[in-house]
C-alpha cells in the first residue's frame, strides 16, 4: 500500500476531532465497501487504506506517535511501545464475492454500533494487545463463514473460541435442489420431500412451502432441518435451491412476463383483437392498426407478484409478423395490386 498521509486518506485536517475522524471514516467505508463496488480493485484498495488510517487515527496513543514520528518512527527499527517502521499495516479481509459473509454495505451502521460496543476501533491493535481484539471482532464479521454450508459463531463467539472451550460445532447447513414448473414458481407451492441423511439412515419427510414469485437459483431456508449436531447444539438449516423449468410460451425477466405473439400481415396492418394466455387465464388484447414487428404491447399488472407489498410485474406481448408461406392465385393477385398501388418504403431514412 502506498504511504499516503492518513489525514489525507480520510480527508480531514490534522486538528480534526475524534468525532470528525469517525464521521469521515464511516462515509468513506460505505463509499468504497466491496459490496457496493464488486470486482473493483481500486475501491478495495481504497477501503483497506481507509481502514488502516482509521485504526491509527482513532487511537489516541497511536495517533500521537503518528503525529510525532509519521511512518518511520524515531529510529529505523522498532519505535516505542511496539510502533514499527515501514508502511502502515494492511488488513486483508475476505468479501462476499470471494466466499466471505453476506454483510450488505447498507448495514455498516449496525456494524459500527457493534464495534462501538466492543470499545471502538480505538482499542484495535493498541494497548500492547498486538491486535488480538481486532482479530476477534473482525473474525466475527469477516471470517465467520467456513466454506460451503458453514455457520458463523453464535452470540458473538467464533468456532475457534468454542473449540478451545470444549464446545461442539452446530450441525452443517445442507442444500437440496428442486425442480419447479413455471406456474409453481409464480404462484407458490408446497413440496413433500424425502431427505436421506448424508451418512445414511432413515429418510425424513419434510414439507417445504415455496413462496410465490421465487426466481431461478433462489434459496428457501428451512430452519433446523440440516445436518445434525452433537451435545445438544442446534442442527443446521436446510436450503431448498429452486430451479425453474422453461415454459412452453412464457419467458420471464425479473417480475415481467414476455409472450411472443404472431400476427398475419393484414392483422398488423388493419389491427385486430387477439385472445392470448396470461398467468391468470385468457385475456383479449387489442392490436392497433399499423403495429410493426418487434413492438411490445403491455398488459399492466399481469406479470409475477413479488413478495411483500410491491406491485406485480407486467405481461408484454412481443409482436412477430408472419408472412404466408404460400399464396393462392387470388391472394397473389391482391398482393400484386397492392404493390402496384404503392406503399411507403420502410427503408426510408435509414441513410443507406
pLDDT in tens, 42-81: 888 898 888 888 988 998 888 888 888 776 444 434 433 3
Q: Check if the beta carbon of residue 112 is closer than 8 Å to that of residue 27.
A: no
Q: Is the alpha carbon torsion for 325, 327, 328, 331 positive or negative?
A: positive
- Cα angle, residue 349 at apex, residues 345 and 351 outer, rounded to 5°: 115
Q: What percent of the chain has pLDDT over 90?
A: 39
Q: Which of 128, 163, 147, 121 is nearest to 18 (CA)?
A: 121
Q: Check if the beta carbon of residue 1 is closer than 8 Å to that of residue 49.
A: yes
Give the architecture-level CATH label for domain 174-244: Sandwich (2.60)
Residue 216 DSSP one-character state: T
Return the CATH number of 6-164, one of 1.10.287.110, 2.30.33.40, 3.20.20.70, 1.10.10.60: 1.10.287.110
Return the CATH number of 250-341, one of 3.40.50.360, 3.40.640.10, 3.40.50.10470, 2.60.260.20: 2.60.260.20
- State the average pLDDT over residues 192-203: 77
Q: For the chain, what is the largest distance between any 2 Cα atoms, rounded to a whole number of angstroms?
A: 102
Q: Is the alpha carbon torsion for 140, 146, 152, 157 positive or negative?
A: negative
Q: What percent of the chain has pLDDT over 70?
A: 69
pLDDT surpasses 50 at 83 = no
Structure confidence at residue 346 as a pLDDT band (50, 70, 90)? confident
pLDDT surpasses 70 at 128 = no
d(CA 213, CA 204): 27
> Is 174-244 in the same CATH topology as 6-164?
no
d(CA 300, CA 256): 10
pLDDT surpasses 80 at 289 = yes
Please tell me the pTM assigned to this model: 0.50
- State the average pLDDT over residues 7-31: 90
d(CA 258, CA 248): 12
Report pLDDT for 232. 66
Instruction: Give me the residue spans of the domains in the chain.
Output: 6-164, 174-244, 250-341
For the chain, the average pLDDT equals 76
Amino acid at each position: 500500500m502506498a504511504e499516503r498521509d492518513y489525514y489525507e486518506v480520510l480527508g480531514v485536517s490534522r486538528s480534526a476531532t475524534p468525532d470528525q475522524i469517525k464521521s469521515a471514516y464511516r462515509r468513506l467505508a460505505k463509499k468504497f465497501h466491496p459490496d457496493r463496488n464488486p470486482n473493483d480493485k481500486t475501491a478495495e484498495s481504497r477501503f483497506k487504506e481507509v481502514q488502516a488510517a482509521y485504526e491509527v487515527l482513532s487511537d489516541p496513543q497511536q495517533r500521537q506517535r503518528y503525529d510525532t514520528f509519521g511512518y518511520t518512527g524515531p529510529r529505523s527499527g522498532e519505535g516505542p511501545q511496539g510502533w514499527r517502521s515501514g508502511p502502515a499495516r494492511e488488513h486483508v479481509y475476505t468479501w462476499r464475492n470471494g466466499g466471505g459473509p453476506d454483510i450488505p454495505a447498507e448495514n455498516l451502521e449496525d456494524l459500527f454500533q457493534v464495534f462501538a460496543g466492543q470499545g471502538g476501533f480505538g482499542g484495535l491493535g493498541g494497548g500492547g494487545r498486538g491486535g488480538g481484539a481486532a482479530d476477534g471482532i473482525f473474525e466475527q464479521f469477516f471470517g465467520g463463514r467456513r466454506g460451503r454450508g458453514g455457520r458463523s459463531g453464535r452470540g458473538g463467539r467464533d468456532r475457534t473460541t468454542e473449540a478451545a472451550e470444549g464446545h461442539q460445532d452446530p450441525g452443517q447447513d445442507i442444500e437440496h435442489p428442486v425442480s419447479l414448473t413455471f406456474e409453481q414458481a409464480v404462484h407458490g407451492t408446497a413440496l413433500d420431500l424425502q431427505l436421506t441423511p448424508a451418512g445414511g439412515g432413515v429418510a425424513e419427510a419434510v414439507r417445504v412451502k415455496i413462496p410465490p414469485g421465487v426466481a431461478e437459483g433462489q434459496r428457501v431456508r428451512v430452519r433446523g432441518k440440516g445436518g445434525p449436531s452433537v451435545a445438544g447444539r442446534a442442527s443446521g438449516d436446510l436450503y431448498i435451491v429452486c430451479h425453474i423449468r422453461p415454459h412452453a410460451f412464457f419467458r420471464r425477466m425479473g417480475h415481467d412476463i414476455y409472450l411472443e405473439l404472431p400476427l398475419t400481415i393484414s392483422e398488423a396492418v388493419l389491427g385486430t383483437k387477439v385472445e392470448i394466455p396470461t398467468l391468470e387465464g385468457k385475456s383479449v388484447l387489442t392490436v392497433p392498426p399499423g403495429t410493426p414487428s418487434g413492438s411490445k404491447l403491455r398488459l399492466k399488472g399481469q406479470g409475477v407478484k413479488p413478495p411483500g407489498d410491491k406491485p406485480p410485474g407486467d405481461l408484454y406481448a412481443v409482436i412477430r409478423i408472419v408472412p404466408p408461406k404460400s399464396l393462392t392465385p387470388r391472394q397473389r393477385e391482391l398482393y400484386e395490386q397492392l404493390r402496384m398501388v404503392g406503399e411507403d418504403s420502410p427503408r426510408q431514412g435509414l441513410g443507406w
